[in-house]
Structure 1
Amino acid sequence: MSANSADGATVVEVVLVKGGRTKIRYDSALMGDDGTRVTVRAPWAGAGVRDFGFVRFEPGDLFTEHYWRDRWYSVKEVRAADGTLKGWYCDITRPAVLTGTELVVEDLDLDLWRSADGSDVRRLDEDEFAESGLAESDPQAAAAALAALDELEALARGDGFGTLLT
């Protein structure tokens, strides 16, 4: 049984897990599911403003989030409340699992940011990834995560996810 939002879209609860614990969970509107990629849309789910120095996530921001069942990352288009594109925030994750209306994603610490104009592409949290111990506890997952980060960086510096998200 699926819940629907006021506009009739199916509500999917996104559950972000990190280190075996739920980091955050929030409701989103299902925009599409082709069997491989699940796309949802949700307002900024964090508490207040999160200022990274190179971008601010704040109340009113809208995230269109793309998750794959066969890839080790997610790509989130970030727009300000007025619709202005801020850029794309990408999480390196294990492949997403959608069960009913619950989308579970395991965050593997690595992230990538691409600004709207493509002038700023940066790898994030490589120190957290190294400290996580994943390379020792699950070398295959660590290798997949690093390969995913490399793939996303190449896409970000290339067409800016155009071919990936169409």
Structure 2
Amino acid sequence: MSATSADTPASWEVVLVKYGRTKISYPAELLADDGTRVTVRAPWAGEGARDFGFVRFERGDVFTEYYWRDRWYSVKEVRDSEGVLKGWYCDVTRPATVSGGELVVEDLDLDLWRSADGSTVLRLDEDEFAASGLATTDPEAATAAENALDELERLAREGDFEALLT
């Protein structure tokens, strides 16, 4: 299904769930949906700027977000207000679900950052993941999440990363 289908809404709501509650939801423009991968674009949805130390997200930043119905992660390409690529922020999530114009993903705490030039690749929030107890409550999901982070890191370091997004 393409983004231009008559039965496909042009504006979707992205809903990020964490620990059973909505963490954030925001409107996004649907760019493509091929039945497996959904691509949307949205401005930075956070309140104010957020400085991670390795990147700063702020008003005017634009996120092109890639979600898969069959993979345990999402990838967000981040550009500043002038269109300059900052890098890619990846969330380890359960596979995305889509119903009508709502795209829902469950955040599993693990994240990865890859800078625009590929020189910096950071695994993030592994302490939060360990503290979440997922390994005890849902060991299969925990294993899938860890494997997803390993896959993202391998792709980010070996140069096949951008092929995910074409």
CA deviations on 1:34-74 (whole Å, 9 max, x unpaired) are 00000000000000000000000000000000000000000
Q: Aligned-pair RMSD on alpha carbons? A: 1.2
Matched, 1:64 2:64: yes
- TM-score computed with the length of structure 1 as normaliser: 0.94
Q: What does 1:65-84 correspond to in 2, within 5 Å?
A: 65-84=65-84
Q: In the aligned structure 2, how far is the partner of 1:143 from the partner of 1:56?
A: 30
Matched, 1:27 2:27: yes
Q: Secondary structure at the match of 2:129?
A: helix
Q: In the aligned structure 1, how far is the partner of 2:160 from the partner of 2:76?
A: 12
What amino acid sits opposite 1:96 in the alignment? A
Q: What is the aligned partner in structure 2 of residue 14 from structure 1?
A: 14
Q: In the aligned structure 2, how far is the partner of 1:165 from the partner of 1:29?
A: 17
Q: In the aligned structure 2, how far is the partner of 1:118 from the partner of 1:163?
A: 14
Matched, 1:152 2:145: no
Q: In the aligned structure 1, how far is the partner of 2:19 from the partner of 2:163?
A: 32
In the alignment, structure 1 segments of 5+ residues that lack a partner are: 1-8
Q: In the aligned structure 2, how far is the partner of 1:78 from the partner of 1:162?
A: 13
In the alignment, structure 2 segments of 5+ residues that lack a partner are: 1-8
Identity among equivalent positions (%) equals 75
**How much does 1:160 deviate?**
5.1
Q: In the aligned structure 2, how far is the partner of 1:65 from the partner of 1:158?
A: 21
- TM-score computed with the length of structure 2 as normaliser: 0.94
Q: What is the aligned partner in structure 1 of residue 110 from structure 2?
A: 110
**How much does 1:124 deviate?**
0.1
CA contact (8 A) 1:118 1:160 kept: no
Q: In the aligned structure 1, how far is the partner of 2:89 from the partner of 2:33?
A: 20
Q: In the aligned structure 1, how far is the partner of 2:151 from the partner of 2:111?
A: 12
What amino acid sits opposite 1:121 in the alignment? V
